[in-house]
Amino acid sequence: MTVTNQARTDPEAVAPYRWRWAALFVILAAEVMDLLDALITTIAAPTIRADLGGSDSLVQWLGAGYTLAMAVGLITGGRLGDLFGRKRMFLIGAFGFTAASLLCGVATGPEMLVASRVLQGLFGAVMLPQGLGLIKEMFPPQEIGKAFGMFGPVMTISSVGGPVLAGWLVDADFFGTGWRMIFLINLPLGLAAALAGIRFLPEYRLSNATKLDLVGVGLVSVAGFLLIYPLIQGRELGWPAWTFVSMAASLVVFALFGRYESRRAASGKDPLVTPSLFRKRAFSGGLVAGLAFFSGMIGLSLVFSIYMQAGLHFSPLKAGLASLPQAVGGVIGFGLAMSGLQEKLGRGLLQIGVVVMAAGAAVLGVTIHLAGTDVGVWQLAPGLALVGIGMGLTMAPFFDIVLAGVEPHESGSASGTMTAVQQLGGALGTAVLGTLFFNLLKDQWSFGSAMQVTVWVEIGLLAITFALSFLMPHKARPEQAGH
């Protein structure tokens, strides 16, 4: 079945797609795979490094390679579906993601594993955007809210279960696979999703889709790599001059990207990112706030996992279980936001969430300072729970509030850009906070002291998020709320 987007407005084409609910579960399976793979290496990274060898930077690249590739790919992944069909690109992404997971599971060295993680991120970026577009096409207006409402519980369960699942799989050592099973488990899930997609997903394609902005994709990819690579590798190489040149060059390439996109838009061609977005103070402020917020959140998770396993000598399973209070707190925070607080408080809820998250980080830092190496799971729980609650309160309204300041015709580009920045923030946080943590250990700081410094850096990033939040609109537009 292949139709264009115009079919949805045809008076004779009002009947909803027959297999839409089965297709929704296929799309949700893809979301689960992505969420699990974004989280599992945080817990498994120390074990992977002990087995494969490699330097401290391997721990950072396992996460940063995936999220950086995802960030770059998401900018253009949705456009591929417009051009070549959403079902086709979803299946290519699902089969590719599964194959890349197999490569991760059989990796013989750190280089092969990181390259396979990059492939996972790229195929994931092709797969994920198609699902949202398909939902909008398959479901009638009266059901689309229920369809999108399924994402909340699924994402919540995945975020809670991801670290625990990773720790359990590593400790269980099924068939002698050890850490490899965290990737091999994607094989049955990915193949099932792809085969079900062949059966249940309809094909939609935009009738007026324009060509890809390949030059724009190339420029933003180069700029991201020039920034992230020296941040991760510079410490181990002694910070040679080229690392600073590379980071400076990334700013130049980002500027060239912006100039090229402006010229492309002025000539009537479809840009990768709509330039007018960056002339809006609310959106630009939200973009930087998102970069700071997600950098701190993902970076702190990585460092805390290393601290628990290398500093406190927790097993992978115990480290996963120790992270549960934060995940459960996230569920509570999200639930409170969805109970009506988001509509009532708007931007205020985001600011409350940031303050609660910062308070939780401070409690965590003080706990580590007072308890020293004898700190246990239950002592860490209150601070982690507060961090999770604040995270849920902040993330629930974040995208709606930022996107409230853009025009309707800019919303597609703005949404894609914000999602890409979320992934880029994860890569940047992994690079910066991971590098800071390893630098402190190299300078003979204890694990506890290095962890405390990282916590205070996270609080600083949350302060930046809080300050920039005042540039955002007070509330989302009614038609945006909840999306």
CATH number, residue 140:
1.20.1250.20
265 or 404, greater pLDDT = 265
pLDDT tens profile 10-46: 444 457 778 888 888 888 888 888 877 877 787 888 8
pLDDT reading at 123 higher than 90: yes
Is 414 found in the same domain as 459?
yes
Helix (H, G, I), strand (E, B) or coil at 472: coil
**Res. 115: pLDDT tops 80:** yes
Say whether pLDDT at 472 is over 90: no
Q: What is the pLDDT of residue 409?
A: 65
What local confidence, expressed as pLDDT, does residue 482 receive? Answer: 44
Domain co-membership, 249 together with 326? no
125, 13: one domain = yes
The two three-digit tokens of residue 99, written as one number: 């194959």
CA-closest candidate to residue 302, choices 139, 430, 455: 430
Q: Name the range with the highest mean pLDDT among 146-150, 340-344, 364-368.
A: 364-368
Using the predicted structure, report yes or no on whether residue 479 has a pLDDT greater than 50.
Answer: no
Is 221 in the same domain as 313?
Answer: no
**Same domain, yes or no: 316 and 174:** no
Q: State the number of CA atoms in the 13 A half-sphere of 309 facing the CB.
A: 26
Q: Does residue 336 share a domain with residue 359?
A: yes
The total number of structural domains in the chain stands at 3
Q: What pLDDT does 202 receive? A: 85
**Residue 46, domain extent:** 1-213
| Domain identity same for 191 and 225 | no
Paired tokens of 468: 């920039």
pTM: 0.79
d(CA 256, CA 220): 9
User: Which one of 166, 184, 213 terminates a domain?
Assistant: 213
Which candidate, 129, 150, 17, 131, places its Cα nearest to that of 482? 150
**Measured between alpha carbons, how far is 11 from 234 in angstroms, rounded to an integer?**
60
Average pLDDT over residues 379-402: 87
Q: How many Å apart are CA 12 and CA 443, to the nearest integer? A: 71
Backbone angles phi, psi at 195, to 5 degrees: -65, -40
* pLDDT given for residue 62 in this prediction: 85
Residues 262 and 315 in one domain: no
pLDDT at 145: 66
Q: For the chain, what is the mean pLDDT? A: 82
Q: What ranges in 53-109 are assigned the alpha helix state H?
A: 57-84, 86-105
User: How much is the average pLDDT of 216-235?
Assistant: 85
pLDDT of residue 8: 45
End-to-end Cα, the chain, rounded Å: 27
User: What are the backbone angles phi and psi of residue 139, rounded to the nearest 5°?
Assistant: -100, 140
Q: Highest mean pLDDT range out of 35-39, 86-90, 475-479? A: 86-90
Answer yes or no: do 105 and 56 share one domain: yes
| CA atoms of 218 and 274, how far apart (whole Å) | 17
Are 339 and 200 found together in one domain? no
| Same structural domain, 246 and 298 | no
Best CA proximity match to 83, nearest among 198, 202, 212: 212
370, 434, 449 from 365: Cα distances, Å: 9, 17, 9
* 236-272 pLDDT per residue, tens: 777 889 989 999 999 999 899 888 888 888 887 777 7
Q: What is the pLDDT of residues 194-217, one digit of tens each?
A: 999 898 888 776 655 567 778 888
pLDDT at 120 over 90: yes
pLDDT at 2: 44
- Give yes or no for residue 192 having a pLDDT over 50: yes
Average pLDDT over residues 315-324: 86
Tell me which of 170, 197, 213 is where a domain ends.
Answer: 213
- Residue at a domain's end among 241, 269, 297: 269
On whether both 82 and 130 belong to a single domain, the answer is yes
Q: Is the pLDDT of residue 131 over 80?
A: no
How many CA atoms within 13 Å lie on the side-chain side of 89?
A: 27
Tell me the mean pLDDT in the region 443-456: 89
